[in-house]
Amino acid sequence: MEFRLIDRIRELTAQPRDDVRLGIGDDAAVLAVPAGQELVVAIDTMVEGTHFLPGTTPADLGWKALAVNLSDLAAMGATPAWALLALTLPKADASFVDGFAEGFAQLAQRHRLALVGGDTTGGPLCISVAVHGFVPPGQALTRAGAQVGDEVLVTGTLGDALAGLYALREPPHDDRRRAALRQSLIERLTRPEPRVAAGIALRGLASACVDISDGLLADLGHICDASGVGAGLEAAQLPRSPALRELHGEDKSIQLALGGGDNYELCFTVPPERLAAALSALAETGCPVTRIGRIVEGRDVRVRAADGGALAVTMKGWEHFA
């Protein structure tokens, strides 16, 4: 449809790359996978009301639709290269498309990612992005491979995005300090930073890796299922932002860190003999990282409270908000 809209998308997301032989504008794109690399691909769909609240700005949507996909590449240790974008729009709205493409391009440029094609149709607002990246042969990080005795680590801080969602639903705060803290949590929800450099740094070092989209317990559970192991976590060690702690307190912030989804940090395991190498590789990328527990025998993820007893988890992995 709307060639003007597609032209705008092409202009706003322009990113020259030698490996794009033919980009937007023909019946299909022609791409050259670099010699000696494996291709890693992923796709994620965002539906209004299921994955984002009505009223989310177009620029935030453009950023996030790409961010959740780059996070999947990050979890595999892949270097991003190309994307496809399928947009279903209620109407041919040029200002929506401009805002969306600007948000998308802001993140794409940081990773030198080229948008090489897509599809544009009418219907209820729905966005699908497919991404493509590269890894050296055999070096993709997977969910399988964690072994008993491995350390469990996470990047960044946990729980902020879910707290940001709560903040969006509450009336604005009078207290300026609390309002600013809330805003910082909302930005973790709307503008997640995929941990691409960290994923690449962990190639050859992590034994398993996953990105946290559904919540730490749910996603670490995927590593445990795929690897045939269990995990023991220390609640007190879960990394939480100062804003989360101040607004929600110790106990609630732990529950949010365990169950809150949508934060797009990486959770990964490292054999003890490679821990020092992994920590220094991550330090070089500037990515904060925290040890939160160990891989154990069994199949469950268990959490130990500060007093040494088992922590009752009140917030299980969170599917999507409706």
Q: Does 85 bind ligand ADP (CB under 6 A)?
A: yes
Q: Is 150 annotated as a binding residue?
A: no
Question: Which stretch in 117-125, 153-161, 243-251, 283-291 sits in contact with ligand ADP by CB under 6 A?
Answer: 117-125
Residue ranges of the alpha helices (H) in 129-288?
160-169, 176-190, 196-201, 216-227, 242-259, 275-285
Q: Does 1 bind Mg ion (CB under 5 A)?
A: no
| C-alpha dihedral, 129 to 16 to 193 to 276, nearest 10° | 120
By three-state DSSP, how is residue 264 classified? coil
Q: Which does 130 bind (CB under 5 to 8 A by kind): Mg ion, ligand ADP, none?
A: none
Shorter beta-carbon distance to ligand ADP: residue 40 or 87 = 87
Q: Which residue has the tokens 């008993």?
A: 148
Question: Which stretch in 25-33, 59-67, 106-114, 215-223 sits in contact with ligand ADP by CB under 6 A?
Answer: 25-33
Distance CA 74, CA 200 (A): 7
CA-to-CA dists, residue 149 to 2, 89, 190, 269, 308, angstroms: 56, 49, 36, 10, 20
Q: Does 125 bind ligand ADP (CB under 6 A)?
A: no
Out of 105, 115, 206, 258, name the contact with ligand ADP by CB under 6 A: 115
Question: Which stretch in 44-52, 64-72, 112-120, 209-217 sits in contact with ligand ADP by CB under 6 A?
Answer: 112-120
Out of 18, 27, 284, 297, name the contact with ligand ADP by CB under 6 A: 27
Distance CA 209, CA 186 (A): 26
Q: Is 222 annotated as a binding residue?
A: no
Q: Is 214 annotated as a binding residue?
A: yes
- For residue 19, give the nearest of 30, 32, 28 by alpha carbon: 32
Residues that bind ligand ADP (CB under 6 A): 6, 9, 24-27, 85, 87, 115, 117-120
Annotated binding residues for ATP, written as ranges, equal 118-119, 143, 213
